[in-house]
Chains A and B, each alone.
Chain A
Amino acid sequence: MSQKVLDALKAVHGGAIELLETQHGDAIAWIKRDQLVAVATWLKTSPEMAFDAPVFATCIDRLDWKPIDVPPGVPVYPNSAAWTDAGGKPRFEVVWQLRSSLHHHRLRLKAACPEHDPRVPSLASLWPAFNWQERETFDMYGIQFENHPDLRRIYLYEEFVGYPLRKDYPKEKRQPLVRRDDLPMNPIKAPGEGHH
């Protein structure tokens, strides 16, 4: 079922694709971020795809990605020559999951973006559910969604500093960032953050 979707995607938008893969039965398509809206529009409007139902939108931060025991030859985080983030791989992958209520197939779209330029286009205009979920991704990871109607924090308060789900945000860090004498540890720095 998922292979049909990937084949059709390759046939129509072959040039926009970075990589196609299937993991545990789920179809995953890595799309170049500047062509994402075109591909997404086709996925929604074309009758044989008919992805009318949004499922979720989130982001993966690959900063600490060091998988162990991966059988050799299995690309778990695919390498693509097109991604040149100063020689490395892009840090963030923004993920959208789609479902078709007509054909019952599912698809996961991914767009990679580097750390110094965390922008991807927003799909909120196509599927309204992504409005809040992209806001949540911005809140937690700092991804700027272009053309999002209302990109502001959703879970955290406006004065929050930083993006907590990024891997380099220490779990023990406390906010608001005011010095307090009653705490055993310095809330400006998490323990072990050291001095620069």
Chain B
Amino acid sequence: MTDAAKPAPVPSTPAPPPPAPADSVNLTIDGIAVIAKKGTNVLEAARTIGIDISAFCYHPGLPIVAQCRQCLVAIEKNPKLQPSCQQVVAEGMVVHTNDAQSSLARKQQLEFTLVNHPIDCPICDKAGECTLQRLYFDHDNANSRIDTPKVHKHKTVDLGPTIMLDQERCILCSRCIRTCDEVSGQHQLDFAHRGDHEVLTTAPGEQLDNPYSLNTVDVCPVGALTSKDFRFTMRAWELEATPSVCNGCATGCNIEIHHKQDRVWRLVPRHNPEVNKYWMCDEGRLTYHGLRDHRLAAALVDGLPAGWDRAIRAAAELLGPSLASAPRSIGVVLSAEHTNEDNFALAKLAKAWGVTNVYVAGKPEVPSRADGRLRVADVNANTAGVKLVAAALGLPATPIVELSADVRTLVVLGAELPGIDQAQLAELAIVAISAHERGPVAQAKVALPAAAWAEVAGTVTNAAGRVQRMHAAVTSPGQALPAWEAIVRLAQATGGKLSFAHTREVFHDMTQAVPAWKALSWTREARPLALRFAGSRG
């Protein structure tokens, strides 16, 4: 504090900012002080304060190549503009993203990119989530200056079983090439020729057929690469996104379910640095087709549709005598494909009934899938969870192949009974709680319709023991209910004391019972986000 009589000296430079923590640096972007961890690039540092320096070829999950030159910014003490995706932050760096030079560079780069771009927006799948559209509108918005014909390339190149390429739309950012290399480990895409005839094509002798090929469609900033499964089916801005978890295998990649009016149109990966980063496999993406496949929509008694009440009564009549006199003749099959909550409800019911023959069933393993990347051999979503739930309630979790000869009646969750042949099935009386009408459901005495994975709120446990929350995206067809609700109805008809009114109640009971899950808490149901409100996904 200066003496009041003397005027305070005017500082010539502003006081330096306080020192950043040891692993971070101070820098200034557009006059705003930013603290960024060492090793961050300037583009990411700018994003943390809401400044969008446009970029095409940069992707946080891929190696940086600084190829598109869209992210050039002016950095003081540097004579030339630098690509901000490649420039690592340094202490005291002063960055200008909106000065005359950077803005002009950005506009000019966009102008170059658009010179030969075909006027395809009305027919291009990427419209509505296209990075080129977004960056042009936000950063350039100038009129075209060319009056020469555009260079033409091939517009429908079949790259492989899953992807179509439009060479004219490609802006040569190389994200797809790097994605193939990084995610699948196979080099299947490359550039050919030079100058304005440069095109994307398959690497010599290769096809784009690796099991992670559809990730290239996600990363492509324009509509050059399109998924054969999704193209021309639905416009992006009409979709709503609900977060969930892929049920294709035990990895549990985090996904977004894109749906509209109660129908799922595609699945896309959601970023989770600890599970799947930015990627998912092609098989997982296509599991949404199974949601409409042979769905069990009505309760069946002896193969004929019946209402819930009649079906529950039939099941109670079937189980009643055995429950009273010979609980050893009843087998309960938990499902490695259903949520923790469904399995917990059934296990609790088994315990209340005094049934000790508790089995676990799921789809058989596919050893060829295990590739050390995302795909694993276990194609069931919740094997780990089922085992934990059964163990916590003190029940065995015997694989269903070891079905005991004493069992005469089976209560099956799910539609898989691997290793049980037709002869054995014919001898059993089955109560099936399943979403699909296949497998043992055909021979079931009573079949109760369950909701499928995209229609329920619940949790699944992946192979690493991670419990992940799913949110319901669409409503179940017909009279299907979440499996735990079917189980509660069955319990109430057979004297087992179960009374849950909401999935979160099952969850709370479950987390009290399973010691490893005691600290978990139920999150609020995610409302679907309309993609047209989310800004561009691109």
Contact = CB atoms under 8 A, between A and B. Distances in A.
Interface of A: 68-70, 72-73, 168, 185-186, 189, 191-196
A191 B474 contact: yes
- Chain B interface residue number, banded: 20 to 34
A6 to B, nearest CB: 28
Contacts of A191: 261-262, 474-475
A194 B474 contact: yes
B521 to A, nearest CB: 15
Nearest to B457: A196
Interface of B: 32, 49-50, 240, 242, 259, 261-262, 451, 455-457, 471-476, 481-482, 502-504, 525, 527-528, 535
B50 A72 contact: yes
B484 to A, nearest CB: 10
A68 B527 contact: no
Given A168-B527, A185-B262, A196 B475 contact: no
Given A194-B456, A195-B472, A196-B503, 9 more contacts: A68-B535, A69-B50, A70-B50, A72-B49, A191-B262, A192-B473, A192-B474, A194-B242, A194-B455
B525 A196 contact: yes
A194 B457 contact: yes
5 contacts: A70-B50, A194-B472, A194-B525, A195-B451, A196-B525
A188 to B, nearest CB: 10
Q: Which of A72, A73, A168 is packed against the most chain B CB atoms within 10 Å?
A: A72
A195 B262 contact: no
A104 to B, nearest CB: 39
Contacts of A69: 50
Indicate the member of B32, B49, B261, B481 with the most A CB atoms within 10 Å: B261
Contacts of B259: 192
Contacts of B261: 185, 191
Given A68-B535, A185-B261, A185-B262, A195 B475 contact: yes
Given A68-B535, A168-B527, A194 B475 contact: yes
A148 to B, nearest CB: 31
A195 B32 CA distance: 46
A185 B528 CA distance: 17
B481 to A, nearest CB: 8
A196 B469 CA distance: 13
A193 B50 CA distance: 32
A195 B50 contact: no
Contacts of B242: 192, 194
A193 B456 CA distance: 10
B262 A196 contact: no
A196 B502 contact: yes
